[in-house]
Amino acid sequence: MSMTQTQEKKPGNLLTSNDIFLFIPNLIGYSRVFSAILSLFLMKNHPIYCTIVYSISCLLDAGDGFAARKYNQTSRFGAVLDMVTDRCTTSALICYLCNALPQFMIFFQLLTSLDLASHYMHMYATVISGGSSHKNITKESSWLLNLYYTNKKVLFTACLFNELFYLALYLREFDHLPTIFNVKCATILVFITLPLFIFKQFTNIVQLKRAAVLLADIDCDERNSIKSS
């Protein structure tokens, strides 16, 4: 046995769960969580600071993926941390909007339910079917989801405009913010971001449907294999 082989088998060279927790992209993920929580404390009375901190949390989402690829530190924990942070951050902002805009509460509740259900079912279906990542979608399975998850520009832009739409609705509730021709800048931003916001919701619907079909197919295969045995 060579010296290199001996060194590779030493227990000290094996990764532990603590090593995974300290991966660079996961450290960035913790920063996202901290920024998101901080934005909650600023949300009621400090809209500008809240928007800046909330935006930092969202923009770091691109940073952790870049770091994971650059340093070869992708992990299942990191993937779940990333998705859970995304869902919790957006849901927290929508909770505020439900209070600020109670007339649209049902609308916000449906959007939150769609977002959580589609991503949970999608990740669960991916794990059950043996997929290595929820972002690995073939064109044959769904050309739209393949475009959404494999084209980083599409993914980044859709997620960015989705968050900007909610932030714009949030900023509209503060009268002291800038206007253009007596129209709130936040209102203008709502209409600018609306098309891609709708695209993101449609993608969530497609994702939910695909996950449901995939899970049902797995159920069929398992039951059919039992009957044929």
So which residues are the catalytic ones? 86
Annotate 22-69 with DSSP letters as a single string: T-HHHHHHHHHHHHHHHHHHHTTT-HHHHHHHHHHHHHHHHHHHHHHH
Phi, psi of 184 (to 5 degrees): -60, 135
For residues 158 and 199, give the distance between their C-alpha atoms in angstroms, rounded to a whole number: 7
3-state secondary structure at position 135: coil
Q: What is the DSSP letter of 151?
A: -
Q: Are 214 and 129 in contact (CB under 8 A)?
A: yes
Annotate 159-181 with DSSP letters as a single string: HHHHHHHHHHHHHTT-TTS-EET
